[in-house]
Amino acid sequence: MGLDKIFGAAGTALAAQTVRLNTVASNLANVDTVASAPEAAYRPRVPVFQSVLRSTEGGVDGVRVADVRQSEVLPTPRYAPAHPLANEDGYIFESGVNVIEEMANMTDASRSYQTNIELVSTAKRLLLATLRLGQ
Amino acid sequence: MASGFNTVFNPHRQALNLLEQRLGLISGNLANASTPGYKARDLDFTQAMQAVEKDAQGASSAKGHLPLRGAGAGHVMYRTPLQPSLDGNTVDAQTEKAAFAEAAVRYESTLSLLSRRISGLRAVLKGD
């Protein structure tokens, strides 16, 4: 195990949190998207995180996004007969995006991102100090 | 003479090795702060250091005696979470950040001690 391995692990975390932020952005952008059928409506995207275990072989545990799945939340039907996309019964289907949930996810992702940046800068400082040892 | 240098440098070297390992473990925990089911781990530094010191005393005259790679491997333990979480993740960001900061400061102080040792030795060697 070495301090340099922290860079790799923190890098994987930065990448994973970026994917998470991207899904939040997609979900929030599509909060008002409507469709004429429930199958066609936007489903919130959810990243699935998985740890990459390396610490048993002298590395540092990283993280990866195993999959970006669609949420199980059902689209919300709304009665709007005047809407151009309304079906024959007069319903449109809104995406099931929960704005509060997305905001909480966004905050967590950005905090996590900051933490990992700090890990990288601390590891860098320690490595440079080690290089200067004895000078 | 070589063994004399060893007694000066070895404790610091071992401490740096263990601290490096600890920093790595904590980084892994923080990287997996939002991974479902991830169990946070940490190294018991005091115990690991004592074990390494005991090893060193037992075999101080042997050549190439210190198994430095993964010296603290037997002292890695799962963290007891402060609060249970629904997804089985036991990483508590505050605890981990505090532990990381502590390990980083210890690492830096060990480095500065080592630096002083080196400049002390250098002064002795120069003799002026």
Interface-testing mutation among B9, B16, B26, B32, with chain A (most A C-beta atoms within 10 A): B32
Residue of B nearest to A134 (CA): B115
Partners of residue A49 on adjacent β-strands: A65
Q: Which residue has the tokens 């905001």?
A: A103
Q: Which helix (H) or strand (E) is B41 found in, with range? A: strand B41-43
Interface-testing mutation among B14, B27, B89, with chain A (most A C-beta atoms within 10 A): B27
Is the pLDDT at B68 greater than 50, yes or no? Answer: no
Contacts of B16 in chain A (CB under 8 A): 130
- The parent domain of residue B13 ranges over 2-126
Contact B24 A1 (CB under 8 A): yes
pLDDT in tens, A66-110: 999 999 999 999 999 999 999 999 999 999 899 999 999 999 999
Q: What is the Cα B54 distance to its own chain's centre?
A: 16
CB atoms within 10 A of CB B64: 5
Residue B106 corresponds to which tokens in the numbers above? 């210890």
Confidence at A9, pLDDT banded by 50, 70, 90 = very high
Return the pLDDT at A84.
Answer: 93
Contact A60, A6 (CB under 8 A): yes
Residue A129 main-chain phi, psi, to 5 deg: -65, -35
Contacts of B40 (CB under 8 A, 6+ apart): B29, B32, B78, B79, B81, B90, B91, B92, B96
Return the pLDDT at B2.
Answer: 55
The residue among B10, B116, B109 whose CA lies nearest residue B68 is B10
Contacts of B118 in chain A (CB under 8 A): 133-134
Report the range of poorest mean pLDDT among A123-132, B3-12, B53-62, B94-103: B53-62
Instruction: Give CA separation, A134 vs A5, A123, B17, B77, in Å.
Output: 24, 19, 17, 34
Is the pLDDT at B30 greater than 50, yes or no? Answer: yes
Mean pLDDT of chain B: 84
Number of domains comprising chain B: 1
Contact A133 B38 (CB under 8 A): no
pLDDT in tens, B88-101: 999 999 999 999 99
ipTM of this complex prediction, to 2 decimal places? 0.85
Q: Could you give the 3-state DSSP secondary structure of residue B66?
A: coil
Mean pLDDT for the stretch of residues B31-44: 92
Return the pLDDT at A80.
Answer: 93
The residue among A55, A51, A44 whose CA lies nearest residue B34 is A51
Is the pLDDT at B103 greater than 60, yes or no? Answer: yes
Helices marked H in chain A — which ranges?
A: 4-29, 99-131
Is the pLDDT at B63 greater than 60, yes or no? Answer: no
Residue B84 vs residue A120, higher pLDDT: A120
Return the pLDDT at B70.
Answer: 56
